[in-house]
Amino acid sequence: MKKKILAGLLTVSACFTLGSTSFAASAPTTTPDSTPVANVATSQEISTKGTFDQIIVHMDSGTWRYIPGFLELIFNDGAIELYEDGWVRAVQYGASTIFSYDQYGNIVAYTILVDRN
């Protein structure tokens, strides 16, 4: 049984090897279009387009806080309630993470820790 499987695998690999070389020999060679150096962004320019900051917020249960930007709730264990208008209400002891995006590509990660009363 093992010999049949081994023979089958060798046959399949031989077919791929023979097939790939015949296609490689007939493929036309072309050169890609070149881009002028003035239009290529450097790594320094790319890195300054957006920033990433992290802010840790301590809140007591029942308090409110406004977070600006387009918000995405990443993690919540029931500690907060996030409203569509950007307001956050601390509900109970726990933690949550919210990402806030702005139109310039900046991201702020808010880690909200609701303290015990």
- Model pLDDT for residues 71-106, shown as the tens digit of each residue: 999 999 999 999 999 999 999 999 999 999 999 999
Query: Residue 90 domain-assigned?
Result: yes
Which H helix or E strand runs over 21?
A: helix 2-26
pLDDT-derived band at 109, boundaries 50, 70, 90: very high
Q: What is the DSSP string of 80-93?
A: EEE-TTSEEEE-SS
Residue 109 lies in domain:
50-115
Residue 68 has pLDDT above 70, yes or no: yes
Question: How far is residue 50 from each of residues 6, 15, 56, 101, measured CA to CA in Å?
Answer: 54, 50, 20, 10
pTM confidence score: 0.58
For residue 53, what are the contacts with CB-CB under 8 A and spacing of at least 6?
106, 107, 108, 109
Residue 50 has pLDDT above 90, yes or no: no
DSSP letter assigned to residue 32? P
Write down the pLDDT at residue 1. 53
Query: Residue 66 domain-assigned?
Result: yes
Nearest to 78 by CA among 99, 94, 59, 58: 94
pLDDT-derived band at 23, boundaries 50, 70, 90: very low
Query: Residue 35 domain-assigned?
Result: no
CA 74, CA 97: separation in Å to the nearest integer?
A: 5
| CATH number of the structural domain spanning residue 96 | 2.60.40.10
Number of domains forming the structure of the chain: 1
